[in-house]
């Protein structure tokens, strides 16, 4: 009986040891899953700090809406992408209250042409932008008027294209209209507002449907479904009518 018990105990120990060896993570497995930042292996994930947002850039557009194929430098590089990670947010300079980040992981964003710091993460182009760089955010694969939303104290405006024409109705080329850029239009969507020092959101003085006049060259252009819009901050809106 004693001999039998020893054999059973030995068998159990041997089986457990085999199981642990078989399921022990190997060094090669860990190395294979190591991330690369700008071609160098790093430990862990890239975690944005402060009010920075990690965005995976959308691929360049290689075909026009008319179906013409684009190659090389002719490809249209989009300043949009999908949010991969979000920092904790910045603190208000007066009160120290943390300003909530306006986007979440999985949402798509459009940002300014010259905004952000581009990085290569695992062979894919990414960029690190600030929350203030976000012009609009949207859900899904395509930017549409239904899916788009503005952040903070931004306002989405359907600009009055008639300002780009002479009194006789002749359309001006972009190069000819640099000194007279559209600065009026209809409010389409309104952001939640800018956070005050007490943590409360400041009231937005315009609503969808209002016609507004804003500062010349104040807005950032965004094209949605083939139509030109402008993202304007509330502080740059001069009047409504």
- Gap between the Cα atoms of 112 and 133, Å rounded: 6
Please enumerate in sequence order all residues whose Cβ is within 8 A of that of 228, keeping only pairs 6 or more positions apart, or say none.
159, 161, 221, 222
Is pLDDT at 26 greater than 90 in this prediction? Answer: no
pLDDT for 173 equals: 52
pLDDT for 44 equals: 87
pLDDT for 80 equals: 95
Share of the chain above pLDDT 70, in %: 71
Rounded to an integer, the average pLDDT of 61-87 is 65
Q: Do domains 44-149 and 153-241 have the same CATH topology?
A: yes
Write the pLDDT tens digit of every residue in 105-119.
999 999 998 999 999
Q: What are phi and psi of 120, to 5 degrees?
A: -110, 120
Residue that wins the pLDDT comparison between 114 and 25: 114
> Measured between alpha carbons, how far apart are the two ends of the chain, in Å?
99
Rounded to an integer, the average pLDDT of 182-211 is 95
Question: Could you say which of 3.20.20.70, 3.40.50.720, 3.40.640.10, 2.30.33.40 is the CATH number of the domain covering 44-149?
Answer: 2.30.33.40
Q: Do the Cβ atoms of 121 and 35 come closer than 8 Å?
A: yes
Least confident of 39-43, 63-67, 121-125, 234-238: 63-67
Q: If DSSP codes are grouped into helix, strand and coil, which group holds residue 12?
A: helix
- Gap between the Cα atoms of 40 and 34, Å rounded: 10
Q: If DSSP codes are grouped into helix, strand and coil, which group holds residue 131?
A: helix
Residue that wins the pLDDT comparison between 170 and 225: 225
- Gap between the Cα atoms of 211 and 163, Å rounded: 14
Highest averaged pLDDT of the listed ranges 49-63, 69-83, 130-144: 130-144
What is the sign of the dihedral through the CA atoms of 137, 143, 144 and 145?
A: positive
The two tokens of residue 185 are: 């239009």
- CATH class of the domain whose range is 153-241: mainly beta
Q: Do the Cβ atoms of 207 and 187 come closer than 8 Å?
A: yes
Is pLDDT at 163 greater than 70 in this prediction? Answer: no
pLDDT for 5 equals: 45
Is pLDDT at 74 greater than 50 in this prediction? Answer: no
The two tokens of residue 138 are: 């949207």
What are the residues facing 205 on neighbouring strands?
A: none
Rounded to an integer, the average pLDDT of 147-169 is 81
Instruction: State the SS3 of 68-82.
Output: CECCHHHCECCCEEE
Q: If DSSP codes are grouped into helix, strand and coil, which group holds residue 9?
A: helix
Q: Do the Cβ atoms of 29 and 104 come closer than 8 Å?
A: no
Rounded to an integer, the average pLDDT of 176-191 is 80
Rounded to an integer, the average pLDDT of 209-225 is 95
What residue spans define the domains of the chain? 44-149, 153-241
Write the pLDDT tens digit of every residue in 32-42.
345 899 989 99
Say how many CA atoms lie within 13 Å of 174 toward its Cβ.
2
- Gap between the Cα atoms of 91 and 197, Å rounded: 10
* Residue found by looking up tokens 């949402």 in the block: 107
Is pLDDT at 67 greater than 60 in this prediction? Answer: no
Please enumerate in sequence order all residues whose Cβ is within 8 A of that of 32, keeping only pairs 6 or more positions apart, or say none.
none
């Amino acid at each position: 009986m004693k001999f039998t018990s020893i054999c059973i105990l030995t068998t159990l120990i041997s089986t457990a040891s085999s199981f642990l060896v078989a399921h022990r993570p190997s060094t090669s497995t860990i190395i294979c899953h190591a991330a690369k930042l700008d071609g160098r292996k790093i430990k862990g994930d890239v975690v944005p700090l402060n009010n920075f947002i990690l965005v995976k850039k959308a691929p360049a557009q290689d075909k026009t809406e008319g179906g013409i194929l684009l190659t090389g430098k002719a490809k249209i590089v989009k300043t949009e992408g999908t949010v991969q990670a979000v920092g904790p947010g910045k603190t208000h300079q007066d009160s120290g209250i943390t300003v909530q980040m306006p986007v979440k992981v999985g949402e798509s964003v459009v940002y300014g042409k010259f905004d952000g710091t581009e990085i290569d993460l695992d062979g894919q182009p990414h960029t690190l932008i600030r929350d203030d760089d976000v012009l609009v955010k949207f859900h899904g694969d395509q930017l549409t008027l239904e899916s788009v939303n503005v952040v903070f104290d931004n306002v989405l405006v359907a600009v009055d294209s008639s300002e780009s024409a002479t009194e006789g109705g002749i359309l001006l080329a972009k190069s000819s209209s640099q000194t007279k850029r559209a600065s009026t239009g209809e409010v389409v969507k309104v952001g939640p507002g800018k956070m005050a020092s007490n943590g409360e959101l400041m009231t937005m003085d315009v609503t969808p449907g209002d016609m507004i006049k804003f500062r010349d060259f104040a807005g950032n252009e965004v094209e949605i479904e083939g139509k030109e819009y402008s993202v304007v901050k509330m502080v740059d809106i001069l009047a409504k009518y």
